[in-house]
Chains A and B, each alone.
Chain A
Amino acid sequence: MILVDSVTKKYPGDAKPALDSVSLHIEPNEFAFLVGKSGAGKSTFIKMITKEEIPDSGKIIVGGIDLDYVKKRHIPSYRRRLGVVFQDFKLLPRRTVYENVAFALEIAGMSGKEIRKTVPKVLELVDLLDQAKKFPSQLSGGQQQRVSIARSVARQPKILIADEPTANLDKLTTQEIIDLLKKINDFGTTILVSTHDESIVNTLQKRVITLADGKIVNDQKNNGIYKLDATPVPKESRTLQTPGHALKTKRKVM
């Protein structure tokens, strides 16, 4: 579903690359955590997937789309195929909860009738139907993040990317958000969550991809455990760094 092959990105003025020949493959319906300390390259990785940044070298294929061929004018169309959740929610402050979710469907050209049918369902999924008429500023952090998730899943994307979705939330709300993401994953959506919160990673026991200094230093397929201070490099993970490895993988790209 997400195929990254030997991707390198170096920002001008930086001594080290933000991402250094990173390769990985996330399968359809997989739930994966992208972990690492601040500055490890998680946000750059997410930005590559959302095409906010372009790699210096390497290849990225997302949902069957080779990002090399996505021209500037096609970026909005590409982004509409993804669900993206942000650390700071990125809700439209002057629009109600309902309008924020509806916005994602309106930009996709969905009819008013379809929108009126879909939005309440999605708000019900995130348990915010009774808050539909409120503005983001009238909601708690957890509620705002749930609106953000509702907006990102309203178009029923095959992939949902969440960049530090729980960073601004308390423990209880964090668990609620993770449960919600798990529920969405159960519906068949591939989920990639970037985080540095080891408690949620270790509770869920899903795939854990650890980034350090722009490199993948650990990739535990199942029951992954993440410790912020210890990032061992298993032998099997090192093989993923071989250029072209991901492209040669046997897995079918969706």
Chain B
Amino acid sequence: MAKTEDTSEKEKNKNLKSAAKKGLKVMRKSKSKHPVRKGARIVKYGSSGFVRNIWLSSAATVVMAFTLIILFATVVASVILTNTADMMREKIDITIYLKPNTSEQRLGELTDVISEDSNIKSVETSTSEEEYEKFVAENADSEDIINVLDDEMKALMISKMQATMRVKVYDVDNLDSIKEIVETNSLFKKYVDPEKAPTYDVNQVEIATITSWARIARTGGIILAIIFLIVSVLIIFSTIRMAIFSRREEIYMMKLVGADKGFIRGPFLVEAEICGIVAGVVAATASYFFFMFLSPKLSNYGINVNTITEILESNKLILMYLVFMGIGIIVGRLSAWLAISKYLRKM
């Protein structure tokens, strides 16, 4: 009798376990098979969440817009400074003064000698006669000067005016090799005018200043942009985290009624992405008008704003808007993802 009862209990336990397994299978299969429908709902709730939480959304958007503007300003400053420095470096040439009446043939020979240095970009030479012609051309408007330039005066001036060699280099920081050629080469030693030294020494301070500007623009600009990007992400992350923190109860409720992680996280990501898009548009528009307002003033100071102006006045402006929105979306989404993950860890 006891044996029969045992067998019947074992059978019931077996049935019970099999029923429990079947139930589990049904439950696992009950997962939603409509990703498009789910996606549409997430977008719907994300956008309505953005509107309904307008104060927090606005705060996050404003912070993001400001950081995007700062980022833009940093990049623009870096580009402007680099371009201006490059422009000024372009203008720099070293003038080597040669003895008056150095012939064109000698100038050619000297050019060949100095051109052997790899730092030489271009060499322009000018004989004493050509220098005189330049002088006349430069003073064509000045009757007092032109009137005194008779043949006698011309001959005198040509005999006194140095022939010149204007040298442009790739690297203004590294002029030692050129100096060495000018000072040690026998041909140069013979023809360089000892009364007037080459201008590399005269422009040394200016060259050093421009060089340091360029260095700041290149390295400092990149470092500054990276620092601002990190700070921006942290500020936006904190703002979005605060927004999500205030809604942690909502997340908990969603979990309890059976919403899966994607359905909970999705609307928050969409909200953050909308923040990013709005912030991108606002920041791009503000940056555009701000730059357009400032650029004539900067140009007056001899600052090269051409590259940025060209971008802003062409079809690339759309690209700029897209980049701003893209950064906004990426930063917003990343921040929201990190912030919400904390609350989703324990389901």
Do the beta carbons of A66 and B24 come within 8 Å of each other?
Answer: yes
Do the beta carbons of B34 and A77 come within 8 Å of each other?
Answer: no
Contact of A72 among B26, B41, B347 (CB under 8 A): B347
* Cα–Cα, bound, A75→B23 (Å): 14
**What is A's interface to B at a CB cutoff of 8 Å?**
3, 50, 52, 61, 63-66, 69-70, 72, 74-82, 84, 86, 90-94, 103-104, 106-109, 111-112, 151-152, 247-248, 250, 252-253
Task: Report the stretch among B9-17, B197-205, B285-293, B322-330 that lies at the interface.
Answer: B9-17
B contact patch SS? helix
* Cα–Cα, bound, A92→B256 (Å): 12
Residue of B nearest to A152 (CB): B257
For B, the interface residue count at a CB cutoff of 8 angstroms equals: 39
Contact of A50 among B26, B256, B261 (CB under 8 A): B256
Within 8 Å of chain A (Cβ to Cβ): is B213? Answer: no
Do the beta carbons of A70 and B27 come within 8 Å of each other?
Answer: yes
Q: Can you offer 19 A-B residue contacts whose CB atoms are under 8 A? A: A50-B256, A61-B20, A65-B20, A66-B17, A66-B20, A69-B20, A74-B27, A79-B255, A79-B256, A79-B257, A80-B258, A81-B27, A91-B253, A92-B253, A107-B254, A107-B260, A108-B258, A109-B37, A253-B16
A-B complex: 7 closest residue pairs judged by Cβ atoms: A109-B32, A64-B23, A80-B258, A79-B258, A66-B20, A76-B260, A65-B23
Within 8 Å of chain A (Cβ to Cβ): is B147? Answer: no
**Cβ–Cβ < 8 Å partners of B19 in chain A:** 64, 252-253
**Cβ–Cβ < 8 Å partners of B24 in chain A:** 65-66, 69-70
* Cα–Cα, bound, A50→B252 (Å): 13
**Cβ–Cβ < 8 Å partners of B257 in chain A:** 79-80, 84, 90, 103-104, 107, 151-152
Do the beta carbons of A109 and B38 come within 8 Å of each other?
Answer: yes
Q: Assuming A64-B20, A92-B254, A109-B37, is B27 touching A75 (CB within 8 A)? A: no
* Cα–Cα, bound, A245→B189 (Å): 113
* Cα–Cα, bound, A66→B22 (Å): 10
Least Cβ distance of B79 to chain A in Å?
43
Contacts A3-B16, A69-B21 known; 13 new A-B pairs at CB < 8 A: A50-B256, A65-B24, A74-B27, A76-B255, A76-B260, A77-B258, A79-B256, A81-B258, A86-B256, A90-B256, A90-B257, A103-B257, A109-B37
Residue of A nearest to B40 (CB): A112
**Cβ–Cβ < 8 Å partners of A3 in chain B:** 16
Residue of B nearest to A104 (CB): B257
Q: Assuming A66-B21, A92-B253, is B258 touching A247 (CB within 8 A)? A: no
Interface residue ranges of B23-46 to A (CB < 8 Å)? 23-24, 26-28, 30-34, 37-38, 41
Do the beta carbons of A94 and B22 come within 8 Å of each other?
Answer: no
Do the beta carbons of A93 and B20 come within 8 Å of each other?
Answer: no
Do the beta carbons of A84 and B20 come within 8 Å of each other?
Answer: no
* Cα–Cα, bound, A84→B255 (Å): 12
Do the beta carbons of A92 and B250 come within 8 Å of each other?
Answer: yes
**Cβ–Cβ < 8 Å partners of A84 in chain B:** 256-257
* Cα–Cα, bound, A245→B26 (Å): 27
* Cα–Cα, bound, A87→B290 (Å): 55
**Cβ–Cβ < 8 Å partners of B12 in chain A:** 248, 250
Within 8 Å of chain A (Cβ to Cβ): is B263? Answer: yes
